Amino acid sequence: MRLTRYFLPTLKETPTEAQIVSHRLMLRAGMIRQSSAGIYSWLPLGFNVLKKIEAIVREEQNAAGAQEMLMPTIQPADLWRESGRYDDYGKEMLRITDRHERDMLYGPTNEEQITEIFRAHVRSYKDLPKLLYHIQWKFRDEVRPRFGVMRGREFLMKDAYSFDLDYEGAKRSYNRMFVSYLRTYARMGLRAIPMAAETGPIGGDLSHEFIILAETGESQVYCHKSYLDYDALAEEIDYEGDLQPIVDHWTAQYAAADEKHDPANCPVAKDDLVEARGIEVGHIFYFGDKYSKPMGAEVTTADDTAVPFEMGSYGIGVSRLVGAIIEASHDDDGIIWPDAVAPFTVGLLNLRVSDDACTAACDDLYDKLRAAGVDVLYDDRDEGAGAKFADMDLIGLPWQLVVGPRGVKAGTVELKRRASGEREELSAEAALAQVIG
């Protein structure tokens, strides 16, 4: 994409309403535009990152055996009255009345909706287990939505739901999602640590939240230092096999957020304890028959006994992850995108568009990168070098390929790796080989 044609409204000054790093950088990098408090339009650069994250989430859910569907954003209030949550959920729920005076709501989550769908079609234990998920917009009316997409009122979430006959089956489904989440975050360049968590308004008695470490994180977390060496992608996963040993490995050591951490009774020696800030990027729950029982969602067992489904739910904040990645990966100049979720792989900078040789060299590199399937943002604007460097550092693409008149005469280009800041002068062919490789 040529930058002269791309909609990228970057800002030099930080908007006064932005209080955290990710909010400031997303606004300055032209990724989002606030529509109203806690509600944002996703501009092309931000939407590109959002779709990259969504694709990884989808691939890992599919690999774990979950099946994608799509549920509506608007739900009938009667479903929530069946479960008993309509009056209990609180003011975060946006309640609506349609033209026929029917009570509706903008879904903050989908346990009731998916339970209604499943009870209408599944009667026999032979149809179990099942894992269903969708990636859909949600709405929760936060009191103070001050932190950009990290705590917006409207947000994109992947929520999955498991249906099993008994606790043993439900635990296997829980373990599938547990392992899938570890792989999902690792593929995005994040180190996520699972921590036992409160179940909150979802309910249930087994829950883990997944926390990534970030200096600007929202909460204090404590964990054994061994977690810093764990690699979720080190081995192939057989989702049909026994995943409990993997779950045990990732939960054997101490890990707790501040609300569960007791300094007086911490089992980890001080030298082995990591104290850091963290950001929640996912939450999984097993809650048994909390929804199936009051909603009459039953299945017939092999001996013709009717029992409620055993259920769990599993959420990943897709839009929240955009902000969380920035919180974990940035410097004073701007964002540093991990390769897998970067909106473009390389930024190609033409330092003098009025120089025919310089422009010809850039056009050639641009065509070759695109032919190789590399996402490239070509800065062909008639701007000074300083402005171009500043914008490229701000938007944080993994590679910068810099072409100037001196280099063209010498037959070289400059290749910069954004994460390390390392620069190399090398031939155009060698630079292409590195970026494409």
Residue 6 included in any domain? no
Q: Per-residue pLDDT for 237 more than 70?
A: yes
Tell me the average pLDDT across 133-151: 91
186 in Cβ contact with 227 (< 8 Å): no
pLDDT of res. 200: 57
Structural domains of the chain, count: 2
Tell me the average pLDDT across 232-258: 95
Last residue of a domain, one of 298, 315, 335: 335
Percent of the chain beyond pLDDT 70?
A: 98
- 176 with 32, same domain: the answer is yes
Place 199 in a pLDDT band, splitting at 50, 70 and 90.
Answer: low
**Beta-carbon contacts of residue 328 (< 8 Å; ≥ 6 apart):** 190, 212, 213, 214, 279
Place 17 in a pLDDT band, splitting at 50, 70 and 90.
Answer: confident
- For residue range 386-432, list pLDDT tens digits in order: 999 999 999 999 999 999 999 999 999 999 999 999 999 999 999 99
Residue 11 included in any domain? no
Domain CATH number, residue 383:
3.40.50.800
- 325 with 375, same domain: the answer is no
Q: Per-residue pLDDT for 90 more than 90?
A: no
pLDDT of res. 215: 86
Residue 1 included in any domain? no
Residue 89: CA count within 13 A, CB half-sphere: 25
Residue 245 included in any domain? yes
Last residue of a domain, one of 303, 335, 367: 335
- 204 with 55, same domain: the answer is yes
Residue 4 included in any domain? no
Q: Per-residue pLDDT for 133 more than 80?
A: yes
Tell me the average pLDDT across 151-180: 96
Rounded Cα distance between 321 and 37, Å, is 19
pLDDT of res. 197: 75
Query: Which amino acid type is present at position 275?
Result: E
Residue 288 included in any domain? yes
pLDDT of res. 216: 80
Place 145 in a pLDDT band, splitting at 50, 70 and 90.
Answer: confident
Domain containing 277 equals 21-335
- 256 with 362, same domain: the answer is no
3-12, 84-93, 127-136, 298-307: least confidently modelled range = 84-93
pLDDT of res. 201: 53
Residue 12 included in any domain? no
Place 205 in a pLDDT band, splitting at 50, 70 and 90.
Answer: low
- 315 with 174, same domain: the answer is yes
- 292 with 350, same domain: the answer is no
Domain CATH number, residue 175:
3.30.930.10
- 235 with 172, same domain: the answer is yes
- 119 with 186, same domain: the answer is yes
Tell me the average pLDDT across 323-327: 96
Residue 129 included in any domain? yes
Identify the burial level of 323 via C-beta atoms within 10 angstroms of its C-beta, where 0-12 means exposed, 13-18 middle and 19 or more buried: buried
Tell me the average pLDDT across 217-228: 92
C-alpha distances in angstroms, 117 versus 68, 120, 309?
A: 14, 5, 13
Identify the burial level of 191 via C-beta atoms within 10 angstroms of its C-beta, where 0-12 means exposed, 13-18 middle and 19 or more buried: middle
- 351 with 331, same domain: the answer is no
**Beta-carbon contacts of residue 300 (< 8 Å; ≥ 6 apart):** 123, 124, 125, 306
73 in Cβ contact with 37 (< 8 Å): no
Tell me the average pLDDT across 306-326: 97
Place 15 in a pLDDT band, splitting at 50, 70 and 90.
Answer: confident
- 378 with 297, same domain: the answer is no
Q: Per-residue pLDDT for 202 more than 80?
A: no
- 390 with 321, same domain: the answer is no
> What is the residue-averaged pLDDT of the chain?
94
pLDDT of res. 420: 95
- 364 with 320, same domain: the answer is no
Rounded Cα distance between 106 and 141, Å, is 10
Last residue of a domain, one of 335, 353, 384: 335
Q: Per-residue pLDDT for 229 more than 60?
A: yes
Place 46 in a pLDDT band, splitting at 50, 70 and 90.
Answer: very high
